[in-house]
Amino acid sequence: MEFSNYLPLPLRGEHTIFYYLLLVVLAAQVLYSLGIGVLFFGKSSGEKRSNACYGLLLISFALTLLHYWMVLAGIYERYPSLYFIPIYFTLSLPTLLFYHVKLRMYPQYQLRRSDLKHFILPIGQIVFFIFMFFSSMDFKADYGRQFFNPFYGALEQGLFLTLFFAYIYFARRYVVQKRKNLRNKAELRKVFYARKLLQVLFYVFCIHTFFVLTDFISYQFWDLNLRSVKVFAALGILSFAGILFWLGVYGFQILLWGRKVLNEG
């Protein structure tokens, strides 16, 4: 059964030491981020729901990176039964980031029915992958990765990029709103950290967006598959890993001195 045509980052042929070094670096990033994410669930200070959202954000990001790692390592080609294993959560990432910031800025906020709309696509993607994972091998091979699939394909990538930028913008609005008329030093530091999180995240996500759009435009208009260029494919996945790296660094800082510096109760 051939699934390679549906894989987003194929790297074929002979590999150099840099390829294996890349696999090691990505694996280390996955393990590190999973560890930090789990620790957020045990964080005693700060807003519990905000902590849970950030923990889930790190874990979901790490598992999505693990999906790309499995592509690079050729796991899906060797074990096609693992294709569509539900570890791909691109559409959950923007929502989790948004609610982490929103609940951190406004811990008194109570979730409402109107919040459910933010979880439609994330839940839909999870259900889709679970359904596909337990489907027959022939069905997986025939369906594969579709252009207009909102959960896994070109449309999904477009939704991911658009939603991530949109939710960064909306989260920043809450940070700016919180900053107005704020005098308490501890609260000001929380605003500063949240603003720094979003600022750096915006820039590193712009880099990742450049690689995704360059690949898409090259393929659609010039029939040039840049994913077959090993250097480009490696830099593309590193740009995704770079986002997770920043989230992990920020999370480690909050875990290390959040109670002392931010005066989290």
CATH of the domain at 136: 1.20.1070
pLDDT of 261: 60
One-letter amino acid for residue 106 of the chain: Y
Confidence at residue 103, expressed as pLDDT on a 0 to 100 scale: 96
- Tell me how long the chain is: 265
CA distance 9 to 11: 6
pLDDT band at 1 (very low <50, low <70, confident <90, very high): very low
Mean pLDDT of 166-180: 94
pLDDT averaged over every residue in the chain: 89
Q: How confident is the model at residue 44 (pLDDT cuts 50, 70, 90)?
A: confident
The total number of structural domains in the chain stands at 1
The full 3-state SS of the chain, as one line of letters, equals CCCHHHCCCCCCCCCCHHHHHHHHHHHHHHHHHHHHHHHHHCCCCCCHHHHHHHHHHHHHHHHHHHHHHHHHCCHHHHCHHHCCCCCCCCCCHHHHHHHHHHHHHCCCCCCCHHHHHHHHHHHHHHHHHHHHHCCCHHHHHHHCCCCCCCCCCHHHHHHHHHHHHHHHHHHHHHHHHHHCCCCCHHHHHHHHHHHHHHHHHHHHHHHHHHHHHHHHHHHHHHCCCHHHCHHHHHHHHHHHHHHHHHHHHHHHHHHHHHHHHCCCC
Which residue range forms the structural domain that includes residue 107?
Answer: 4-261
Residue % of the chain over a pLDDT of 70: 91
The model carries a pTM of: 0.92
Question: For residue 236, what are its two tokens?
Answer: 């593309």
Structure-token pair, residue 195 = 């603003």
Rounded CA-CA distance 15/238 in Å is 17
Helix 154-179 crosses helix 93-105 at what angle (to 10 degrees)? 10
29, 23 Cβ separation under 8 angstroms: no
User: What pLDDT digit, counting tens, does each position of 229-255 carry?
Assistant: 888 888 999 999 999 999 999 999 999
